[in-house]
Every structure is written in C-alpha cells, then in structure tokens.
C-alpha cells in the first residue's frame, strides 16, 4: 500500500468522556510518524459538508482532561446514503486525505465499514462510547468515567432514599446493553440491576424487594438499563408500584450527565493508548479494523466483528450482585 501522508480524524455519534484525549493521541502520534492531520468537524457531517481544518500538535494542547469533543460530533443522515458517501469521498480527495481514523461507537463503525466497502480508503476505528457495547475490546473509552458518574449519583440518591425510607429506580444509559447498569449496581451497593441481557422474570426483583426492603432494609436502590427490553425505570417502577402499593417508590433518570465530565485516569490512559495504536495500525498497513484492548494487550478487530450484537456479559457479576444484596 502507498505510504500514508495525510490522515483525517473525526469524532462521531454519541460523545464520550475521553474523546478529546483520544483525538490528542491520534493527532500527536500521526505527526510523530511524519503524517499530516486534518480534523473533520461534526463527524461524517464534516466530510459531507467539507468542514475540515489542518491540525498541528498545539491544536490538541490542554484538552486531555476535558469531556466532550473539541471537533464536535453529530449524527449524519446523508452519510447513510450512497450519494452522501460519494460527497464524503470527494471531500477526502479534495483534501488529499489517504486514510481515516474514526472515533465513535457501533453506528460510526457501521458507517465506516460501509464506506470502506465502496471506496478504497483505509479506516481505523477507536472505540469511544459510554455503553461498552463493542465486541472485541474489554473496555471502550468513556465507559469508566460514566460508571464513576453513575456511582457518584447513586451515592447521593442513597442518602435521601434512606432518610425517607424509599425505593428508588435509577435509569442509566446503555443502548440495549447492561454493562453500565450491572457494574454500577455492584459498585454502588444497589439491591438489583434490571438489564436487557437477563429476563425480567428471572431477575428476582420482587424477591429482592421482599427480602431486602421489607425485612432488613429501610430503603432500596435498583438500577435499570434504558432499553426497549427493560422498558426503562418508569415502566419497572409502575410494575412494582402496582404489585406493592405500600412502597414509597421514586424514579430518577440520570440522562446526559452520564456523558459529561472530565475523563477518569483509566479513560485517559485507554484513550492515549488506543489513539496511538490507531496510527500504529495504519503504519502496519491494517485497514478497516477497530483498535481495542483485550487482557491489557492492544488488538485489531475487524469492523464486522466489532459491531456484532453479542458482546457477552459476565454472568458471574449477576450472581455476585444477587448474593451481596440480601
């Protein structure tokens, strides 16, 4: 393959804490390897609409500790059409961009895979999503920070829950994956997690509430993953309220605070490693792969595998949560 002289980099889809740290790593590692860097604003939208700026090392100074993304992110409908992707390719040609590094989640890599099948452009993905739902990587950038944000919020909710002897259902993000809800439940000492991977009939929710709330505790917290399968915290709360009208039930939807904030140490380190690894991947002639981490080693995962819908959840965590919530 011809030597890559210029890369384009973009952040796409939902933002995640650590995207800036990853952008910094990609930019610096590329320049370190003799490449030019063109930052593409607003994800694929910036490719379609030609919103591009050349970055030097100083463009990414003092951003490692900031949440969000300085080059913005967006959802881009045009890119899901062949006409939109042709416009994106024309922009790449115009700016002499030889390869792309895309920072995002499932949808971003689906788009990248599609683009790579139509045009001869090497693409490397860096997994940035608070949902941790990409296959082939143990962790995604943003997940650890979001987990800490949820725990912090649940600690505060616990104070008021125990003062008023209430039962709280706290909804967390996850896009149909229960990693955030389950691990946050474990780390915050919640009574249960309602997650899409485990059937609601089997989650022993009633049993937990009966044995915990009624007999031994004066308050309870249940984390609910947002998902069509769980129906969200309000749906679960309604069900419990109708079965147990005697309980003082409250619902909290944590929402977008989970996406914000300064990235944790773990996320900054992961972002730095994976951002640099994306450039190594291009230097090594890898194309159309996501860089990930497995057992603390950097791995290259084909897009098709990364976006598969079946990242396994560790059932041992489910059993541990049940055992510890008595």
Residue whose C-beta lies closest to ligand ATP: 107
Q: Which of 15, 131, 203, 267 is catalytic?
A: 131
Q: Are 106 and 307 in contact (CB under 8 A)?
A: yes
Phi-psi region of 40 (alpha: psi -120 to 50; beta: other; left: phi over 0): beta
| Strand arrangement of the beta sheet that strand 220-225 belongs to | 192-194, 220-225, 167-172, 249-253
- Interface residues for ligand ATP in 121-140 (CB under 6 A)? 129, 131
Question: Binding to ligand ATP by residue 280, rule CB under 6 A?
Answer: no
Stretch that binds ligand ATP, among 21-29, 63-71, 108-116, 162-170 (CB under 6 A): 108-116
- In angstroms, the Cα distances linking 164 to 13, 112, 152, 236, 251 are 39, 50, 19, 20, 14
Question: Binding to ligand ATP by residue 232, rule CB under 6 A?
Answer: no
Closest approach of ligand ATP to the CB of residue 53, in Å: 20
d(CA 203, CA 311): 20
Please measure the distance between the N-terminal and C-terminal CA atoms of the chain and give it in whole angstroms.
60
17 or 212: CB nearest ligand ATP? 17
Question: Binding to ligand ATP by residue 107, rule CB under 6 A?
Answer: yes
Question: Binding to ligand ATP by residue 288, rule CB under 6 A?
Answer: no
Question: Binding to ligand ATP by residue 175, rule CB under 6 A?
Answer: yes
d(CA 186, CA 197): 16
* Per-residue contact string for residues 64-93; x = within reach of ligand ATP by CB under 6 A: -----------xx--xx-------------
Q: In the set 7, 8, 10, 14, which binds ligand ATP (CB under 6 A)?
A: 14
Q: How many residues does the chain have?
A: 326
Contacts to ligand ATP by CB under 6 A: 12-14, 44, 75-76, 79-80, 104-108, 110-111, 114, 129, 131, 175
């Amino acid at each position: 393959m011809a030597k890559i002289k210029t890369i384009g980099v973009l952040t796409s889809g939902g933002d995640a804490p650590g995207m800036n740290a990853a952008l910094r790593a990609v930019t610096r590692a590329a320049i370190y390897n003799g490449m030019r860097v063109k930052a593409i604003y607003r994800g694929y939208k910036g490719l379609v609409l030609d919103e591009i700026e050349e970055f030097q090392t100083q463009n990414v100074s003092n951003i490692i500790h900031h949440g969000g993304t300085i080059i913005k992110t967006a959802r881009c409908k045009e890119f899901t059409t062949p006409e939109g992707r042709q416009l994106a390719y024309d922009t790449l040609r115009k700016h002499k961009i030889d390869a792309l590094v895309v920072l995002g989640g499932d949808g971003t890599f689906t788009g990248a895979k599609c683009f790579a099948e139509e045009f001869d452009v090497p693409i490397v993905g860096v997994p940035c999503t608070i949902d941790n739902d990409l296959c082939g990587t143990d962790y995604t950038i943003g997940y650890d920070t979001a987990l800490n944000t949820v725990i912090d919020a649940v600690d505060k909710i616990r104070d008021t829950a125990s003062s008023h002897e209430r039962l709280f259902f706290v909804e967390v993000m996850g896009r149909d994956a229960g990693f955030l809800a389950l691990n946050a439940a474990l780390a915050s000492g919640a009574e249960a997690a309602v997650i899409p991977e485990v059937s609601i009939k089997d989650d022993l929710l009633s049993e937990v509430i009966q044995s915990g709330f009624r007999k031994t505790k004066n308050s309870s917290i249940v984390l609910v993953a947002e998902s069509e399968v769980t129906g969200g915290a309000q749906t679960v709360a309604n069900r419990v309220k109708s079965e147990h009208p005697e309980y003082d039930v409250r619902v909290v939807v944590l929402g977008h605070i989970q996406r914000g904030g300064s990235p944790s140490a773990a996320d900054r380190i992961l972002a730095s490693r994976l951002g640099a690894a994306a450039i190594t991947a291009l230097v090594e002639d890898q194309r159309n792969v996501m860089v990930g981490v497995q057992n603390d080693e950097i791995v290259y995962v084909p897009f098709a595998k990364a976006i598969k819908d079946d990242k396994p959840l560790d059932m041992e965590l489910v059993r541990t949560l049940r055992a510890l919530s008595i």
